[in-house]
């Protein structure tokens, strides 16, 4: 089994080391080519990020004309009323749920639609349509579908005995899971395509050899396909985590952070407090999001990368 | 899943490749069961939501108060669309979406490619740091609140230029990441030949290098158009209430008290708003799919 775990296609060649005939002279690739892009990045990305670290410690709001430093007061307030911890927890839970669901659905769809038949090609294109749709629109569709007297309950009532009238978006415990499922529904087509591309890179000889050795389809999946999909898993988990940490549209359109703040992501809080004119508090939460993504994203990507190399 | 990948009977010798996917010989259950499962999944997971959109968008107001999966008693999609195009200011929203998207995409493609070219060709340690800084925006979220403050100080708050600048700051990272990797795979001989002929860096870049970047720029264009066209979060902060865009107006139609419960209009809006993207997708489906997935799996 170990021999077939080697990756069939030698794509490891580092593209960073293209052989060069003669050392490029400095004036061939002048540094001023960098200036316009760096200027835009500096003004519109880096400067606001630096401002984040400054204004999170002020009392900037729409109610005052002057801005003054207040130290850690914003953090103390947000910790004191519990919103920092609870929003942070919800954001991380939401991101983790989305990463799990989106990858699970994407992988199941990829395995289901793996063969190149006419039906499968149609289905793949169809599952990609939600990816190109506006997330806000998707949110409204599911808000309607998940109403207590909406389409999902009607369908369940048809199948199950008795009348089903679950308030899918009304539970302070489970709604975050439901909304994560909606998020995963929107993006599962992308994960599916990436898993399909990953499956394509697996050599048919390897699969055939395993089958001739008497491997069951589950063994073929667990021992061969899944390990060889590691790069696809890395990409899908990383993008799903980042996308959902930054989530806003779907949650805003389905629950607006409710019920009882149980689906209030950091971005929902930022939007709401900004609308109330509490700019410093919104900035504090924005800084929190920045730090959490920075702290979580890099180790996650690093770990997934290392797993790839081990396999 | 067993229906998808039943193992072949162990006694049979491997047959010649049956198609592009190779010599998979699905059993009878897989051959007839798999398409049924696939189409069933499409019908259940996609058919239901899409039917809900279309049916509700076509209903008279009274029937759409509680949106369900029933068919409208009278199809009036056209009327609802006409209403929402009028009341939702969809024409100006469409133009507003174009107004912020097109310049943003052009600017990030040209400036991002210029930077990527130098970053790819000059492998020095300081530039490696600059590169890391440039692509950090792929992972790190933009500081959306202080951006507004900055735009106010620059006098760009609520303007298209401000919004374009914000999108550029967000998506330059993506372009630089994609293009730098691509430039490294282009041999330098072409550039050198032009240089021997006396072309300066500007001509070398715009006449030789930039045209070669077409495939990777197509990918980046698709991704960035998708993000910007559908963006509502950053637009709400920067140009909300000042400039109409399609998602902003959808948000207004759906959340303003005037339209509360007007599901037929919300869904008619969604139908019209999704059409341009669906048409583009239908025309350039292969390109889009390979663009979005390309580079993800190495």
* Cross-chain residue pair A185–B267, CB shorter than 8 Å: no
A303 forms bridges with which residues in the sheet?
A: none
Q: Which of B5, B140, B270 sits opposite A290 (nearest CB)?
A: B140
Which of A17, A41, A290 is most worth mutating to test chain B (most B CB atoms within 10 A of its CB)? Answer: A41
Give which of A235, A187, A12 is closest to B294, Cα–Cα: A235
Long-range Cβ pairs for the range B231-235 (8 Å, 24+): B231/B167, B232/A134, B232/A135, B232/A136, B232/A248, B232/A249, B233/A248, B233/A249, B233/A267, B233/A271, B233/B144, B234/B142, B234/B144, B234/B147, B234/B163, B234/B166, B234/B167, B234/B170, B235/B100, B235/B163
- Rounded to whole angstroms, the Cα distance separating A153 from A167 reads 9
**Amino acid A174: pLDDT:** 92
* More confidently predicted of B27 and A175: A175
**Amino acid B29: pLDDT:** 65
**Using alpha carbons only, how large is chain B's radius of gyration in Å?**
25
**Amino acid A2: pLDDT:** 35
- Rounded to whole angstroms, the Cα distance separating B56 from B59 reads 5
Distance of CA A134 to the CA centre of its chain: 15
CATH 1.10.3720.10 domain residues, chain B: 88-297
Q: What is the pLDDT of residues A198-211, one digit of tens each?
A: 898 888 898 889 98
| pLDDT band at residue A116 using 50, 70 and 90 as cut-offs | confident
| pLDDT band at residue A300 using 50, 70 and 90 as cut-offs | confident
* Cross-chain residue pair A198–B297, CB shorter than 8 Å: yes
* Two structure tokens written together for A162: 């008795």
Q: What is the CATH architecture assignment of B88-297?
A: Orthogonal Bundle (1.10)
Which of A33, A59, A255 is most worth mutating to test chain B (most B CB atoms within 10 A of its CB)? Answer: A33
Q: Which of B38, B247, B298 sits opposite A113 (nearest CB)?
A: B38
**Amino acid A242: pLDDT:** 87
- Rounded to whole angstroms, the Cα distance separating A274 from B54 reads 35
Compute the residue count for chain A. Answer: 311
Which of B84, B146, B198 is most worth mutating to test chain A (most A CB atoms within 10 A of its CB)? Answer: B146
Which residues numbered 98-117 in B keep a CB inside 8 Å of some CB on A? 107, 111-112, 114-115, 117
- Mean pLDDT, rounded, for A216-243: 88
**Amino acid B295: pLDDT:** 53
Using DSSP's 3-state secondary structure scheme, residue A58 falls into: strand
* More confidently predicted of A277 and B287: A277
Assess A235–B contact: CB distance below 8 Å, yes or no.
Answer: yes
> Closest chain B residue to A242 measured between Cα atoms?
B139
On whether the CB atoms of residues A270 and A289 are closer than 8 A, the answer is: yes
- 3-class SS shares of chain B: helix, strand, coil, % to 5: 70, 0, 30
**Amino acid A306: pLDDT:** 72
**Amino acid A217: pLDDT:** 86
Which regions in chain B score pLDDT beneath 70? 1-30, 257-260, 291-298
Write the DSSP assignment of A91-124 as a string of letters: HHHHHHHHHHHHHHHHHHHHHHT-S--HHHHHHH
**Amino acid A9: pLDDT:** 41
Burial of A196 (0-12, 13-18, 19+ CB in 10 A): buried
Give which of B116, B227, B109, B130 is closest to A242, Cα–Cα: B227
* More confidently predicted of A101 and B59: A101
Assess A104–B contact: CB distance below 8 Å, yes or no.
Answer: no
Q: Which of B111, B141, B204 sits opposite A289 (nearest CB)?
A: B141
* Cross-chain residue pair A231–B298, CB shorter than 8 Å: yes
**Amino acid B18: pLDDT:** 41
> Closest chain A residue to B186 measured between Cα atoms?
A18
**Amino acid A21: pLDDT:** 47
Q: Is the pLDDT of residue A83 over 60?
A: yes
Q: What is the pLDDT of residues B127-170, one digit of tens each?
A: 988 988 888 888 899 999 999 999 999 999 899 999 999 999 99
* More confidently predicted of A83 and A8: A83
On whether the CB atoms of residues A279 and A60 are closer than 8 A, the answer is: yes
Assess A130–B contact: CB distance below 8 Å, yes or no.
Answer: yes
* Two structure tokens written together for A51: 């401002």
**Amino acid B98: pLDDT:** 94
End-to-end CA distance of chain A: 13
On whether the CB atoms of residues A154 and B48 are closer than 8 A, the answer is: no
- The complex scores an ipTM of 0.85
Give which of B245, B26, B238 is closest to A112, Cα–Cα: B26
* Cross-chain residue pair B42–A127, CB shorter than 8 Å: yes
């Amino acid at each position: 089994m170990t021999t077939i775990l080697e990756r069939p296609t030698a794509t490891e060649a580092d593209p960073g080391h293209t052989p060069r005939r003669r050392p490029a002279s400095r004036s061939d690739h002048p540094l001023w080519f960098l200036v316009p892009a760096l200027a835009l990045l500096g003004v519109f990305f880096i400067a606001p990020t630096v401002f984040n670290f400054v204004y999170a410690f002020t009392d900037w709001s729409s109610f005052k004309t002057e801005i003054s430093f207040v130290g850690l007061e914003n953090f103390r307030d947000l910790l004191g009323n519990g919103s920092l911890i609870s929003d942070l927890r919800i954001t991380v839970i939401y991101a983790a749920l989305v990463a799990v669901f989106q990858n699970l659905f994407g992988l199941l769809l990829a395995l289901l639609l793996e063969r190149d038949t006419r039906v499968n090609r149609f289905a793949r294109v169809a599952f990609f349509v939600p990816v190109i749709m506006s997330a806000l629109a998707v949110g409204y569709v599911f808000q309607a579908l998940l109403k207590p007297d909406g389409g999902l309950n009607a369908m369940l009532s048809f199948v199950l005995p008795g009348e089903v009238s679950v308030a899918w978006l009304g539970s302070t415990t489970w709604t975050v899971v439901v909304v994560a499922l909606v998020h995963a529904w929107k993006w599962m087509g992308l994960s599916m395509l990436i898993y399909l591309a990953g499956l394509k890179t697996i050599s048919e000889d390897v699969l055939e050899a395993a089958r001739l050795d008497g491997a069951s389809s589950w063994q073929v999946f667990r021992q061969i396909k899944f390990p060889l999909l590691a790069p696809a898993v890395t990409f899908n988990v990383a993008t799903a985590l980042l996308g959902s940490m930054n989530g806003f549209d779907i949650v805003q359109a389905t629950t607006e952070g409710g019920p009882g703040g149980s689906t209030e992501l950091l971005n929902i809080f930022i939007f709401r407090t900004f609308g109330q004119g509490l700019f410093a508090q919104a900035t504090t939460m924005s800084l929190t999001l920045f730090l959490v993504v920075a702290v979580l994203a890099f180790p996650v990507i690093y770990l997934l990368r290392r797993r790839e190399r081990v396999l | 899943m067993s229906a998808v990948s039943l193992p072949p009977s162990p006694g049979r010798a491997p047959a010649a490749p049956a198609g592009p996917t190779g010599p998979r010989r699905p059993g009878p259950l897989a051959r007839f069961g798999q398409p049924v499962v696939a189409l069933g999944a499409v019908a259940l997971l996609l058919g239901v939501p899409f039917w809900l959109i279309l049916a509700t968008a076509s209903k008279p107001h009274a029937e759409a108060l509680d949106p369900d999966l029933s068919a409208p008693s009278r199809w009036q999609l056209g009327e609802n669309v006409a209403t929402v195009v009028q009341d939702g200011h969809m024409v100006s929203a469409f133009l507003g979406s174009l107004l912020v998207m097109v310049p943003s995409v052009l600017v990030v493609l040209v400036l991002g490619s210029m930077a990527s070219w130098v970053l790819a060709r000059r492998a020095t340690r300081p530039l490696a740091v600059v590169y890391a800084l440039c692509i950090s925006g792929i992972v790190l979220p933009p500081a959306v609140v202080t951006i507004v403050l900055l735009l106010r100080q620059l006098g760009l708050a609520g303007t298209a230029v401000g919004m374009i600048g914000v999108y550029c700051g967000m998506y330059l990272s993506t372009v630089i990441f994609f293009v730098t990797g691509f430039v490294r795979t282009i041999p330098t001989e072409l550039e050198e030949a032009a240089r021997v002929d006396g072309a300066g860096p500007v001509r070398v870049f715009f006449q030789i290098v930039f045209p070669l970047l077409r495939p990777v720029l197509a990918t980046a264009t698709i991704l960035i158009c998708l993000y910007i066209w559908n963006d509502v979060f950053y637009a709400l902060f920067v140009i909300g209430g000042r400039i109409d865009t399609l998602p902003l107006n959808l948000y207004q139609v759906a959340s303003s008290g005037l339209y509360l419960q007007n599901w037929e209009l919300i869904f008619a809006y969604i139908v019209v708003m999704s059409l341009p993207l669906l048409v583009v997708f239908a025309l350039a489906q292969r390109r889009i799919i390979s663009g979005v997935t390309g580079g993800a799996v190495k």
